[in-house]
């Protein structure tokens, strides 16, 4: 009987991760323990979550003493102590054949991992000072086939436990996917505030914060399903790509809706849906011609992240003797006179107390974050990613982060958030820029905060010694510092600043000028959800109010922005304007890839051209009150051979000679012939 129990012990450790149904099936199929040798009552024990020594003893009273000795030294390893394996799977056919698994479980550092699978081998096992972690480096060669691997963990020669791990076939053409680019218009969504497509997940048992739509800083119930149900609206408005604020788990005590305090890097927050629901959204979006951009946060995690109670190593985070916040000096990376004190404080200081700063100089942490970005890209089928608080992370890590991602997806696009209004400071991080300090970046795109700042300033400028458009004109003139200005993200606002209609003091003419500019200038336009219906927040700049609910996203809403029901006439007009503008842009290839030439603004009018070998568009941004005539003489070099111009938004035909009559403030976009 002892031999039977010992065989059962080894066998049960291998099936510890199976479901109840699989446990029962395995009992009578296992070759080393025949069905007739298994005591009838043992099946009820095996069905339990874990097979424990005290559950087995009643069936072998004559062997109790031997079993007590046996289990006191060995049986503890039969219990499934490993609770996490990340990443949860990988793919064949990746450019980089290596993947590193992070294994977490109680006191597992004494176990020896083993894999027996054709084409896959363990090349290295790393232990840290925390005995609850193992880091296993795998090599997956080109001959490896997709299938289910078994990770076995031995205590000496005894199998302690085993876990399945999936190796999947990479999607055909995955490496060649085209990322978002200047042909796209990005729609930025706060998913908790967009639409509640599945009210059943508003509150999830065991999660800390519950829904409370009445509280402006609470969770309101918007989710992935809500976005999925309105893909037709997004596509119909002329947008071609979706960037959602993070949907990975944020199991924080409060303000968890925004998503930037990650508590699980491999799991969608259950209040937004599931990993599979996210993948379905991306797949359906792609079918509708919509790309997806995922918000990544490699600089910090949430203070409630699962590893915060059991850090892999003492240097997993950037720790200080007392709480120390970043000085937010974004010039630190390129400042030739910067002190070590200021440079360290910028990158190693915490963003806020609830966002622990991750130490990417730890190679295990760096690899974890890079693999996570690649995993989501492959799992979902992403067209790119937006990297939050980009320069706050370690600079050398950022180089490797982008390099490794682009190694797998050479045509993917990554946009970084460097919130600064000086072009040179933003340009430092763009791929292809030759920096004086020798720093090399692989980041292709950046958010164009300098142009945003200049645009808003120019729109609101009331006059002075020079033209009100001059700041925008001169900011664009500084594009010389960028390696690829066409790959910059241009925007009127985003989730971290006041909405455009509020920024221009609810002046509808200025609003139209702002939208027309981002539509027609160089770069990639991004529109914040709700701006198309003039969402505003007078009297406050609180983020929780800026990110208000999109009307019509909840049952019972009196106003429905999706259908137009209940919108004011001005809101409907704005929505129609934005729809015409960006639907036109979809097929205006000259706006996507054409050159830009602008002319010095005069009399509150700013004129520029987008042109290529076949097409030419003239954009007139007019702030002049009342009717006025625009002399076409200064633009002769761009108007040679041109006889007429057709307004892309109204269809009005203009004769392109002499003076062009303008009827008050607003944009005019002329397709020239």
Could you write out the DSSP letters of every residue in 373-392? HHHHHHHHT-SEEEETTGGG
- Per the CB < 8 A criterion, the answer to whether 247 and 259 are in contact is yes
Q: Which of 198, 304, 348, 417 is catalytic?
A: 417
Distance of CA 624 to the CA centre of its chain: 41
What pairing do the DSSP bridges indicate for beta strands 524-528 and 120-126?
unpaired
| pLDDT score for 79 | 62
| pLDDT score for 412 | 98
Q: Is 342 helix (H, G, I), strand (E, B) or coil?
A: helix
- State yes or no: cis peptide before 20, omega within 30 of 0: no
| pLDDT score for 466 | 79
- Per the CB < 8 A criterion, the answer to whether 113 and 135 are in contact is no
CA distance 421 to 435: 19
Task: Give the CA angle between residues 540, 546, 551 to the nearest 5°.
Answer: 120
161 is known as an active-site residue: no
CA distance 392 to 346: 7
Continuous segment of H or E residues that includes residue 601: strand 595-602
| pLDDT score for 35 | 35
CA distance 336 to 424: 14
CA distance 393 to 385: 16
192 is known as an active-site residue: no
Instruction: Report, as ranges of residue numbers, the positions in the chain whose pLDDT lies below 70.
Output: 1-80, 465
Residue located via tokens 């991602």: 405
| pLDDT score for 68 | 42
Q: Which of 198, 304, 357, 388 is catalytic?
A: 388
Which of 307, 72, 235, 218 minimizes the C-alpha distance to 579? Answer: 235
| pLDDT score for 463 | 79
Classify 348 in phi/psi space as left (phi over 0), alpha (psi -120 to 50) or beta: alpha
């Amino acid at each position: 009987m002892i031999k039977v129990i010992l065989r059962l012990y080894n066998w049960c450790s291998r099936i510890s991760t199976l479901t109840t149904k699989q446990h029962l099936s395995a009992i009578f199929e296992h070759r080393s323990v025949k069905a007739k040798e298994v005591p009838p009552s043992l099946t009820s024990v095996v069905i339990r979550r874990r097979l424990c020594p005290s559950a087995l003893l009643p069936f072998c009273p004559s062997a109790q003493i031997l079993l007590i000795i046996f289990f006191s030294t060995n049986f503890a390893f039969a219990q499934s102590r490993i609770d996490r394996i990340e990443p949860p799977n990988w793919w064949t056919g990746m450019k980089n054949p290596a993947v590193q698994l992070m294994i977490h479980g109680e006191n597992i550092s004494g176990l020896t991992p083993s894999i027996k699978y054709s084409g896959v081998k363990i090349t290295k096992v790393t232990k840290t000072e925390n005995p609850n972690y193992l880091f296993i480096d795998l090599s997956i060669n080109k001959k490896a086939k997709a299938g289910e691997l078994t990770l076995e963990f031995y205590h000496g020669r005894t199998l302690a436990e085993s876990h399945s791990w999936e190796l999947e076939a990479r999607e055909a053409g995955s490496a060649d996917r085209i990322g978002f680019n200047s042909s796209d218009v990005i729609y930025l969504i706060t998913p908790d505030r967009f639409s509640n497509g599945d009210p059943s997940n508003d509150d999830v048992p065991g999660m800390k914060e519950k829904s409370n739509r009445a509280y402006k800083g609470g969770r309101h119930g918007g989710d992935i399903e809500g976005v999925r149900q309105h893909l037709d609206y997004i596509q119909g408005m002329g947008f071609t790509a979706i960037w959602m604020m993070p949907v990975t788990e944020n199991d924080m005590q409060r303000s968890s809706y925004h998503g930037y305090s990650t508590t699980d890097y491999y799991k969608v927050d259950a209040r937004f849906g599931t990993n599979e629901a996210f993948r379905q959204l991306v797949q359906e979006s792609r079918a509708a011609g919509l790309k997806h951009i995922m918000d990544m946060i490699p600089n910090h995690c949430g203070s409630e992240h699962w590893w915060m109670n059991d850090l892999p190593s003492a240097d997993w985070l950037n720790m200080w003797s007392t709480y120390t916040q970043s000085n937010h000096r974004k010039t630190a990376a390129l400042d030739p006179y910067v002190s070590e004190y200021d440079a360290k404080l910028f990158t190693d200081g915490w963003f806020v107390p609830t966002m622990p700063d991750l130490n990417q100089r730890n190679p295990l942490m760096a690899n974890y974050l890079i693999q996570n970005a690649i995993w989501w890209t492959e799992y979902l089928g992403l067209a790119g990613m937006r990297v939050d608080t980009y320069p706050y992370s370690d600079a050398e890590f950022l180089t490797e982060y982008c390099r490794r991602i682009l190694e797998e997806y050479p045509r993917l696009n990554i946009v970084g958030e460097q919130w600064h209004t000086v072009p040179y400071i933003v340009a430092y991080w763009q791929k292809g820029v030759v920096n004086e300090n020798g720093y090399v970046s692989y980041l292709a795109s950046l958010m164009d905060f300098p142009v945003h700042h200049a645009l808003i300033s120019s729109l609101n400028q009331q006059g002075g010694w020079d033209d009100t458009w001059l700041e925008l004109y001169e900011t664009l003139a500084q594009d010389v510092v960028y390696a690829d200005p066409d790959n910059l993200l241009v925007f009127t606002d985003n989730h971290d600043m006041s909405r455009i209609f509020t920024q221009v003091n609810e002046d509808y003419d200025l609003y139209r000028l702002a939208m027309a500019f981002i539509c027609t200038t160089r770069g990639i336009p991004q529109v914040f959800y709700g701006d198309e219906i003039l969402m505003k927040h007078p009297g406050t700049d609180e983020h929780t109010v800026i990110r208000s609910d999109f009307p019509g996203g909840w049952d019972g809403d009196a106003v429905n922005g999706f259908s137009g029901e209940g919108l004011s006439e001005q809101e409907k007009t704005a929505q129609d304007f934005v729809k015409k503008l960006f639907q036109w842009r979809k097929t205006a290839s000259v706006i996507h890839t054409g050159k830009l030439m602008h002319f010095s603004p005069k009399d509150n009018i700013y004129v520029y051209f987008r042109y290529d070998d076949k097409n030419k568009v003239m954009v007139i941004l007019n702030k002049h009150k009342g009717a006025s005539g625009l002399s076409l003489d200064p633009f002769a070099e761009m108007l040679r051979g041109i006889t007429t111009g057709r307004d892309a938004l109204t269809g009005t035909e203009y004769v392109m000679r002499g003076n062009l009559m303008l009827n008050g403030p607003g944009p005019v976009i002329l397709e020239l012939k």
